[in-house]
Structure 1
Amino acid sequence: MKFRAGDEVEKVGQTMQVTETLSQGLKREFKVVLPATDLATRLDSQLSEIQAKARINGFRPGKVPVAHLKRLYGRSIMAEVVQEAVNEAHRKIVEDNALRPASQPKIDFPGEKDELEKAFEAKADFAFTVALEVLPKIEVGSFEGIEIERLVAEVNDAEVDEVLKRLADQSRTYSPKEGEGVAAQKGDKATIDFIGKIDGEAFEGGAGEGIDLVLGSGSFIPGFEEQLEGLGVGESRTVSVTFPEDYSAEALAGKAATFEVTLKGLAAPGEVNIDDELAKGFGLEDLEKLKESIKANIARDYAAASRRKWKRELLDALDKKYSFELPEGLVTQEFDAVWRRVEAEQSQSGRSFEDEGTTEEAARADYRTIAERRVRLGLLLADIGDAAGVKVADEEVSQALFERARSFPGQEKLIWEYYQKNPAALAEIRAPLYEEKVIDHILSLIKVNDKTVSKEDLLAIEDDENEIERKDSEKAEDAALA
């Protein structure tokens, strides 16, 4: 039976009384009263169970006076009684009103301290309130009118050959260069020690010992490798470079630096052959199979880049199409999580809102909008998936967890056990799998226009998307479901 504001109290369990006091939008509040007589009954019942099992010095088994047990355990038992009553009230409120809670309820004990003490002694009624938010009812309807463009890039032979050459270079053997007058040149593998400084001060991550570097590979900062050419083994040289403006470590981006480099060893590159033997080195039977594998991998990368683009387009369309009231608690929770990451990134980078050309107030407003979008899309996708019967098999979760554990070499068992013992953490593995399945379901119901583009066009679009993600990573929707 549904509780309504102003109704006479309804009975829950034995004598617990529940009255709905608020029904406004997605917010619900109930007043719960557990009469003193019921408290006493529950307390006595618990004490009787303990009496039958209690073993206390000075008393025969099963003969410990209830009054003595009450002095010893009464308060702790009453705490359990109260907790049980709270859980029971919440459960019955949800079941009898057919509610879909958006989050855990807020329990409030508004009485004075003296009143609470009397209730704990079963001398007065125990009253508390249960406040909660419910999930909105979403009218999904059809997806008519939603149309997206799916970019398709074909893999050509030149791309496969480029990867083959790179694999061959990686498999190249090197032989030591020895003798008088031997100097480093492009293509050699140099073994170096170095110490980097900015304005004369060493910086974190700027030093290394015994580092192998193939000159001309472009592995280090632009201009670094070229300045090592002509250096002999045992010699040192000061290399001057400037970190790129888009360098991954923001504290170093655009900064001029010097490196004191000592050449410890030098090796000349051997010849490489792109043949069946190269393929066998990668576990494939011949060169043709290696080419097929490379082509399939490139195609998967292109498909993934295309998916990221059209998925964002689809989510934008869904966000524009649907509007419904959002549970304030979920939005606040999402915003708080986003804001903590923003603050952590600022602390790590040393940048401020002013450096980004904004203010904290404006940034909070922007991220609040992002939080609302993520909650809206998360609830919408969950409802669509539920209506469509979308499921994620345990085997799929296990496979994804296995892949996650593999990304932590040497700690695979610890990672696996952590997720297995923490349902909430395991849900974080399941959620994106569920989301992708829902996205695929929606894709099958909307109009999709395939457009063939070049690799350059596809990746240029992908670079633009990555730049958006870099500047405002919280706009990503890949983890919209929590």
Structure 2
Amino acid sequence: MHVSVENTGGLERKLTIQVPGDEIQQKVDGRLKELSKQVRIKGFRPGRVPMSVVRQRYGKQAKQEIVSEAIQNSLQQAIADEKLRPAAMPRLDAPPRDLDNGDLEFDAVIEVYPEIDTIDTDSLEIEKLEADVEDGDVDEMLKTLREQRRSWEEVERAAKEDDQVVIEFAAEGEEGRVPEEGTTRMAIVIGGSGFEEMEKLVTGLKAGDEKKKKLAFPEGFREAALAGTKAKAEIAVVKVAEPQIPEVDEAFIESFGIEDGTLDGLKAEIRGNLERELKQARVAVLKNGLVDALLATVPELEVPQAVVRDEAAGMAAQILSSQGQEPDQALVQQLAGQFMEPAEKRVRAGLMMGELAQQNGIRVDAAKVREAIETVASTYEQPAEVVQLYYSNERLMQQVESSVLEEQVVDWVLEHAKVTPKKTSFQEVIAAATNSGE
């Protein structure tokens, strides 16, 4: 077997592989010999079919099978011999060729992972946010909980700030009408929907009013065909309702599982939840700062675009699932382009983390993996069954191990980097975590 490797640009490599023709013919003959013992052809006794008859009837099929196997096997061998690290499945852009000397030749194109030099973590400078949960944070969350439990009372007046406006809706966009027929019902809370142009449109309207206007739909709009586009909207107001905020009474408190039914008990529960949220947010911000610092050490690091595309598709599918939509392939691919930039950052970060683990001999800690699984399992009614499920599912285990190893790398880097503490507030830490995309 002869192999040549051409760098066609970036991380793409073109492999030209030649497989000796006599090797292929030998395997074809062996395959036909096996068939001659198995096939049943009228006029011949089993196992006595002449090779010439077997070759005439099955020769083409046997050669196709052997050539296919030869391509797969020789490609794997070539990748190993050339010490390439494929980032995605190789592709064959053209059929294999029969050379004049009888050899088989084919081209395969692959993307490889980049080579990363030793990463200097001692020079990294990272900011570490520090904050506490204050009484004001607890009171603000209590207010939020009351608003989440609000009910709506229909009113016969024009819509204003904080009202809920239920509308029948349709829009004509670049890809046609949404929905194709009729209308779809949706509720808009003025000042809280995240769709400011629609909020402005319904403000001042009352039940029975209709309006048409071209709107810029937000990226996260529930109708994917309209998300991030401009379209002419037609709305009809069904009803206007104002919020009814519940009092903090015994029934309200007990609805959160507070056994003693006291406000102090509810506030203690809220504080505990906020402290856990704060801890997670601080870790998220710290990790994001660490990743940014790491990426800055290798600003020109190339990443395999096939991996970036897969990551972007995964992010799009996750968004669709969180919105209650079925993430079918066409819709995922349509939205994936919006996530290419954050996907590339994730892939770059993952490569850096993996390289740090490799360069510094960091291995995944089985005890920490167990702890992570048990933490997840503790949120279910049958934690033991969930633990068993994880350990019996290779894909789930790989996800947990990857996450744990990343945490170990983060801890290792923080031990070596220059970390500067910065005192701030609970709200600022949460906002920083949200902005970091964690």
Specify the TM-score bucket, using the shorter chain as the normaliser.
0.5 to 0.7
Residue of structure 1 aligned with 2:131, choices 136, 144, 153: 153
Q: What are the residue-to-residue correspondences of 1:114-133 with 2, within 5 Å?
A: 115=98, 124-129=102-107, 132=110
Match in the other structure for 1:301: 277
Any conservation in 2 of the 1:109–1:127 contact (CA below 8 Å)? no
Using the size of structure 1 for normalisation, the TM-score is: 0.58
- 1:272–1:139: structure 2 CA closer, same or farther, 3 Å change rule? same
Q: 1:36 offset after TM fit, Å?
A: 3.2
Task: Give, in angstroms, the shift of residue 143 of structure 1.
Answer: 0.7
Q: What SS does the aligned partner of 1:282 have?
A: coil
1:385-424 alignment runs, 5 A limit: 385-386=357-358, 387-390=361-364
SS in 2 for 1:313: helix
The CA deviation at 1:26 is 6.8
Indicate if the aligned counterparts of 1:56 and 1:64 stay in contact, CA closer than 8 A.
yes
Is the 1:218–1:225 Cα contact (8 Å) retained in structure 2? no
Q: Deviations over 1:415-437 (max 9, x none)?
A: x9xxx89x7x9978876665455
Does 1:140 pair with 2:124? no
Aligned twin of 1:317 = 293
Structure 1 residue runs of 5 or longer lacking an equivalent are 1-16, 343-363, 404-415, 467-475
Q: How has the CA–CA distance of structure 1 residues 82 and 447 changed in structure 2, closer, same or farther, with 3 Å as cutoff?
A: same
Q: SS of 2:117's equivalent? A: coil
Number of equivalenced pairs: 382
How far apart, CA to CA, are the structure 2 residues paired with 1:313 and 1:72?
67
Secondary structure of 1:388's counterpart equals: coil
Letter in 2 for 1:65: P
My pick for the range that moved more, 218-227 or 154-163, is 218-227
Structure 1 residue 18 displacement after superposition:
2.3
Q: What's the CA shift for 1:42?
A: 0.6
What is the alpha-carbon distance in structure 1 between the residues aligned to residue 371 and residue 45 of structure 2? 55
What is the distance in 2 between the residues matched to 1:239 and 1:435? 54
Q: Is the contact made by 2:5 and 2:15 (CA closer than 8 Å) also made in structure 1?
A: yes
**Contact residue 106 and residue 130 of structure 1 kept, 8 A:** yes
Normalising by structure 2, we get a TM-score of: 0.62
Change in Cα spacing, 1:267 to 1:93, as seen in structure 2 (3 Å) is closer
Match of 1:18 in 2: 2
2-structure distance, mates of 1:76, 1:394? 51
Deviation for aligned residue 1:151: 1.5
Distance across 2 between alignment mates of 1:27 and 1:194: 52
Is 1:282 paired with 2:260? no
- The verdict on how the C-alpha distance between 1:320 and 1:64 changes in structure 2, with shifts beyond 3 A counting, is same
* Alignment pair present for 1:448 and 2:419: yes
Give distance in 1, aligned partners of 2:231 and 2:63. 65
The letter of the residue matching 1:152 is: E
**Match 1:260 to one of 212, 217, 237:** 237
Whichever of the two has the greater Rg, that structure is: 1
For structure 2, the residue ranges without an aligned partner over 5 or more in a row are 222-226, 317-336, 380-388
The answer on 1:272 being equivalent to 2:228 is no
1:366-404 CA-to-partner distances (Å, cap 9, x unmatched) read: x9998876654332222223431137859968998999x
Q: Deviations over 1:322-363 (max 9, x none)?
A: 367646xx2476379869x99xxxxxxxxxxxxxxxxxxxxx
Contact 2:3 2:78 in 1 (8 A): no
For 1:243 and 1:459, how far apart are their aligned partners in 2? 35
In structure 2, distance between residues paired with 1:302 and 1:18: 59
Offset at residue 269 of structure 1 (A): 5.7
Cα deviation, residue 306, structure 1: 3.7
